[in-house]
Amino acid sequence: MQTLNVTLGERSYPIHIGCGLLADAALLSPYLKQKKAVVVTNVTVAPLYLEALLGALAQSGVAAQPVILPDGEQYKTWETLNLIFDALLGSHCERSTTLIALGGGVIGDMGGFAAACYQRGMPFIQVPTTLLSQVDSSVGGKTAINHPLGKNMIGAFYQPRLVLADLSTLDTLPERELAAGLAEVIKYGLIRDPDFFVWLENNLDALIARDKEALATAVARSCANKAEVVAADERETGERALLNLGHTFGHAIETGLGYGAWLHGEAVAAGTLIAAELSARLGWLTAGDVRRIEQLFVRAGLPVNAPKLGAARYLELMRHDKKVQDGKLRLVFLEQIGRAVVADTVSEADIAAAIEARCT
């Protein structure tokens, strides 16, 4: 097991990475103030991993109530969130009752948002079961639900007390979901870790084959990068915005097509290639850099061209993005592979041209 720490003063917490962790009572028990907990999961994950987690909690003397939600981005809504509140209220949960999110990014985001809201804040543990959630969404305290006009527009910054990234759960992950997670892994190499990008070029086949040593390295390196960024800028007033490379375009894809049509990582991959295209047009990346980025995403099994929604529709959707300030759209660009920058001075005409160049 490897352990990293997110350093946020009194809100600091560990990230444990290894195999078989969700069944380890010793890792969970220090974070359970009450002999009562609620486990939020979904219909896909529950048959695979709920029993093991409930067993670990029982070893710690904790009685846990499962809340099993439907599976999919299209259920990341107020209506589904209320199912969690119904269970918390129905079980007379207190402010000190711990909520455990067992699942991918949707479950982690909704579970965290519910924990932030219930009685103005209850303890919360992340047990991510997808690669994307292990390397990105479970770390950093972003919690949210979607709105028909924009993804993740309603939420709160709320840090977990503990993250347990059990690599064994990746054995049952569908290939499409594994690929989607690789989009976020590649992102860290692109924005701030060029040596990691080279490592990914050399080890991508091992990751696709689910080699545990390679996965452990990729998850740990990704989490270390994110932990450093979050520690420096918890509420995204500066450097943390760089983590959104490709996301403004990607969120437009998800919203425009309808939540769930494309996986988040798929949309981020296509969005990253739009950002790379635009960066090249601005004179930062070379054509060779763009080809190198594209080849890695193709090898990962990810889309590198965006759907044809029309540049005007993309821009309309992007104006709902959280990074819009004073009416200006702020985007993440690549000055080179391994170094990103945020800028709001690029014209909509240039953005539209880059979108059209990467749409099929």
Q: Give catalytic status of residue 240 as yes or no.
A: yes
Q: Give catalytic status of residue 247 as yes or no.
A: yes
The domain at 175-357 falls in which architecture? Up-down Bundle (1.20)
Q: Which of 36, 76, 142, 322 is catalytic?
A: 142
d(CA 39, CA 108): 11
The proportion of the chain whose per-residue pLDDT surpasses 70, expressed as a percent, equals 100
The proportion of the chain whose per-residue pLDDT surpasses 90, expressed as a percent, equals 93
Q: Which of 251, 322, 330, 358 is catalytic?
A: 251
Q: Give catalytic status of residue 281 as yes or no.
A: no
So what's the pLDDT on residue 324?
Answer: 75
So what's the pLDDT on residue 121?
Answer: 96
Q: What is the pLDDT of residues 71-108, one digit of tens each?
A: 999 999 999 999 999 999 999 999 999 999 999 999 99
Band (pLDDT 50/70/90 cuts) for residue 294 is: very high
Q: What is the mean pLDDT of residues 117-126?
A: 97
Nearest residue to 135 via CA among 95, 180, 175? 180
CATH 3.30.565.10 fits 2-172, yes or no: no
d(CA 166, CA 50): 13
**pLDDT at residue 325 tops 80:** no
Q: Which of 247, 322, 330, 358 is catalytic?
A: 247
**pLDDT at residue 359 tops 90:** yes
Q: Give catalytic status of residue 16 as yes or no.
A: no
Q: What is the pLDDT of residues 251-287, one digit of tens each?
A: 999 999 999 999 999 999 999 999 999 999 999 999 9
Q: What is the pLDDT of residues 40-76, one digit of tens each?
A: 999 999 999 999 999 999 999 999 999 999 999 999 9
d(CA 40, CA 158): 16
So what's the pLDDT on residue 170?
Answer: 98
Q: Which two tokens stand for residue 5?
A: 């720490």
Q: How is the chain split into domains, by residue range?
A: 2-172, 175-357
Band (pLDDT 50/70/90 cuts) for residue 249 is: very high
Q: Over the chain, what is the mean pLDDT?
A: 96
Q: What is the mean pLDDT of residues 217-238?
A: 94
Same fold? 2-172, 175-357: no
Q: Which of 73, 177, 236, 266 is catalytic?
A: 236
Q: Give catalytic status of residue 264 as yes or no.
A: yes
Q: What is the mean pLDDT of residues 166-177?
A: 98
Lowest mean pLDDT among 59-63, 157-161, 221-225: 59-63
- Cα torsion 195, 200, 202, 207 to 10°: value is 150
**pLDDT at residue 155 tops 80:** yes
So what's the pLDDT on residue 327?
Answer: 76
Q: Give catalytic status of residue 236 as yes or no.
A: yes
Q: Which of 187, 226, 322, 358 is catalytic?
A: 226
Contact 15, 163 (CB under 8 A): yes
Q: What are phi and psi of 32, to 5 degrees?
A: -115, 100
**pLDDT at residue 165 tops 80:** yes
Q: Which of 184, 254, 277, 294 is catalytic?
A: 184
Q: Which of 36, 161, 221, 264 is catalytic?
A: 264
Band (pLDDT 50/70/90 cuts) for residue 321 is: confident
Q: What is the mean pLDDT of residues 29-44?
A: 94
**pLDDT at residue 238 tops 90:** no
Interaxial angle between packed helices 247-257 and 311-318, expressed in degrees from 0 to 180 and rounded to the nearest 10: 110
- What sections of the chain are H helices per DSSP? 25-28, 51-59, 78-90, 105-117, 131-132, 175-192, 194-208, 212-232, 247-257, 264-281, 287-299, 311-318, 348-357
Interaxial angle between packed helices 287-299 and 264-281, expressed in degrees from 0 to 180 and rounded to the nearest 10: 170
Q: Give catalytic status of residue 142 as yes or no.
A: yes
